[in-house]
Structures are given as structure tokens and as C-alpha cells.
Amino acid sequence: MTLTLHSAWRASAPYRVRIGLNLKGVAYDYVPVDLVAGQQRSEAYHALNAQNLVPSLVLEDGRVLTQSLSILEWLEETRPEPPLLPKNPLDRQAVRAMALLVACDIHPLNNLRILKALSGLGLDEPARNAWVHRWINDGFVALEPMVARYSRGYAFGDTPTIADVCIVPQVYNASRFGVDMAPYPAIAAAAARAGEHPAIAAAHPNNQPDAAK
């Protein structure tokens, strides 16, 4: 089956799906969506994704999957090896809680459409940066003890899970915005360890065809 991923190199949500596909060893075609140029609002892209957001994963029969975490759960259910969730239900709850803390309570507050909306409300760049720092720090303060509790190399245990799938792009994003990671040694260590995994390294923004030169 040939999958086609509509992606943007620096955006967190497609970065998560690239990590998941790579960890599962699933090949896919890459179609870049230029978010800065507004390509996500084109008629062609809107027909794929009515939210005008990336990613969209198109299956061979044309079916379009949206929402990164639901794509990752589908990957886990249809391609169980290697597992991206532990076996025990309470452990799975903890992994999903770490993933959702990032995916619900940090990332949506800071993505491109929100920064544009804040700009439209008259917030200048320093004020927008302060907004981004606030929500990343707010989330990382709560995430740090969870990673410290569960990590044995990766964010949970000693193999990659959907927690790493969400944390690695969020730490990349924090670095773009100059967030000081010194208060978050467990998160920083887990993200660094995960970043060395070949499948995760291959998903890095700089390794995508649409990366800025």
C-alpha cells in the first residue's frame, strides 16, 4: 500500500506522523504543503483537509486520514510491531497522558494559525513569543516530573512510544522559540535520546524535502 503524507517540514503534527511511520517501517510519498505561502488554504488542499491543517495521510484507495494522534493509534492497531504503546493499561494511560499534554495543552496554543490570529489582534513579535514561552513552560513544568518518573532512556521506558512521538517535535519547537530547557532535564534527555534513533532522526524537519536551505 502506498501512503501519501501531506506534510510541512517544521510543523509539529506531521512531524509526529513521520516519526510514527518511520518507527513502524512504513514507506510513504511526501507531498509538501507550504504553510507560509498559505497553500493549506488552497481549494485542492481544503478538499483533503477541511481544517486546512497538516498532516493529511492519503491511503491507496483515496481515503484521507486527519488528526495526527488518531493516525498514530490507527498505525499502532494495524501494524503492531514495534509497539508504540506499552501493554499494561495504566502504563498506556500514562503514555497517552504525556502525549495529550503536548498535543492538547501546548501545541494548539502556539501553532501558525494562532500566532497569525494574535498578530491580527495587534500583538507584536515579542508579545507573541512571550505567549509561546508561557504555554510551553506551563506544559513542560507538568510534563517534567512525568518523564522523570517513567523514563528509562525514552520518555516512557526504554523504547520509543507515542509520548516521544509528541515530545520530540515539541522540544524542537521550543528550541526554535529559544525556550530555556535547563529546568527540564528529564524532557531534554529523553528528547535527545529519541533524536538519536535513526527512524526519528530521519523524520527531523531538516531532513525533509521542503526544508529551508
- Asked if 105 interacts with a second copy (CB under 8 A), we say yes
**By the rule CB under 8 A, 145 interacts with a second copy:** yes
Collect all residues with Cβ–Cβ distance below 8 Å to 52 and sequence separation of at least 6: 40, 41, 45, 46
Q: Which of 26, 32, 73, 210 binds a second copy (CB under 8 A)?
A: 73
Residues 121-140 that bind a second copy (CB under 8 A): 121, 123, 127, 131, 134, 138-139
What's the closest the beta carbon of residue 111 comes to a second copy, in angstroms?
Answer: 9
Shorter beta-carbon distance to a second copy: residue 19 or 94: 94
| Cα Rg, the chain, nearest whole Å | 17
3-state secondary structure of 3: strand
Q: Tell me: does residue 90 bind a second copy (CB under 8 A).
A: yes
**Given phi > 0 = left and psi -120 to 50 = alpha, else beta, which region is 34?**
beta
Amino acid identity at 8: A
The whole-angstrom separation of Cα 99 and Cα 166 is: 5
Task: Work out the end-to-end distance of the chain between its first and last CA atoms, rounded to an integer number of angstroms.
Answer: 31
Q: Exactly one of 43, 60, 77, 81 binds a second copy (CB under 8 A); which one? A: 77
**Residues contributing to the site for a second copy (CB under 8 A):** 49-51, 53, 63, 65-67, 69-71, 73-74, 77-78, 89-90, 92-94, 96-97, 99-101, 103-105, 107-109, 114, 117, 121, 123, 127, 131, 134, 138-139, 141-142, 145
